[in-house]
Each structure stands twice: as structure tokens, then as C-alpha cells.
Amino acid sequence: MVTRQPLRVARLFQVESLEARQLLSAGDPDPSFGAGGTASSSLASFFDADASFATIDGDTRNGFTVVAGDIVEFTGEPLLYNRSDTALVRFDSAGRLDRTFSGDGKAILRNFDVGDVLIQPDNKVLVAGRIWRGAPAVIRLTRGGALDTTVGGGDGVATAGRAQPDGSPFGTFSSVALGPGGKIIAARWA
């Protein structure tokens, strides 16, 4: 779900900004995007302790850049991978936070591991991955950053298959695309 509840995490890792970069065709940073081709946003307001990003992915189209990263929680001795949430940040074409997305340009998907992100032609956002310790899933957010209740069973989440062991590449959708007629296509290892 897209919520702003505090996340309790071990104090061993630092919250880092999610960052997007835009490059010109020659591979040089685009100076019109953010500061010298780089835009970043702090996610510290979502957490009451330090966290670490495990996976980062993104997509740029229609004048928007969406960056997604898994925020992981480690607890115990030895450290155990205890929880994963996905943070999404949307920037406009100038590299500024897009405040039409979730009110501040940022959204959190609780208990979800990201595998891929796609901005649809209508600016809805598809996030492929898996439910934390659960089945492969695709979540669709509206252009305003809320769960799109027209997907799945009315909760914005479409799942497929069954849960796989932690660390298994077979349990996470690693790619998402749109097919003919706007059909959502998600792929994973088989």
C-alpha cells in the first residue's frame, strides 16, 4: 500500500537519496535536468532510523522520470534481511520533484520488492516485482501516485504464481512492458 507509516530499521545503514540522471545522446549529462544532469531527493521523512537501498531501477518518458528503490531492514545478530519496502520518486523534465505525484513526488509501497518500473503513455506507473516473501506481482499507480484500483482484485495489485524462497530469481517479476491493447506483460526467470 502507498502509506507514510514510519519504518523501523537497524541503525547500521545510511538513508541515501534516490537519484536520477539524464544523459544526452553522446552520453554527457543533460544540464537542463536537475543540477548538471542529476536530480536527487531525500526519503528521510519516511523513516525514523537509517536504511539502505538494495535495488534501484527507473524509467524516463512523457517528460517524467520515476526512480524506484528497495529500502531494506536488517535486524538481529547475525543480521537478517527482515523487510523490504519500495520507494518511488517522480521528477519532471527539469529534474524537480513532481508534486502532482502523491502530493510531494514520493510514494512508498510497503512490503514490496521492486524488479522494474514503467511509465505508461497515460503517465500511470507500473511497478513489477514481488510481494515481500510472497508471489510475483505488478502494482499500478495512478498518475497522481495512488494505487490504481482497476488492477488486480480492486487493490491495485495483480499477483501471479506462488511465493518462492527468499533470494530466488524465480519469485520476482524482473521486467514489465505494455503489449497490444495496453495489456500488462511481466516477465521473470522460469
- The single residue listed with the C-alpha cell 513532481 is 98
Q: Model's pTM, two decimal places?
A: 0.78
pLDDT of residue 161: 76
pLDDT, block means (10 residues), the chain with 190 residues:
32 40 67 80 61 67 87 62 78 91 91 90 93 87 95 88 66 87 85
Tell me the pLDDT tens digit for each residue of 45-68. Answer: 665 454 555 556 788 888 898 988
Is residue 88 within 8 Å of 147, Cβ to Cβ? no
- pLDDT score, position 76: 61
Report angle CA 142, 92, 58 to the nearest 5 degrees: 70
- Kindly list the distances between the CA atom of residue 33 and the CA atoms of 17, 30, 50, 97, 98, in Å, as whole numbers in the listed order: 16, 6, 28, 11, 13
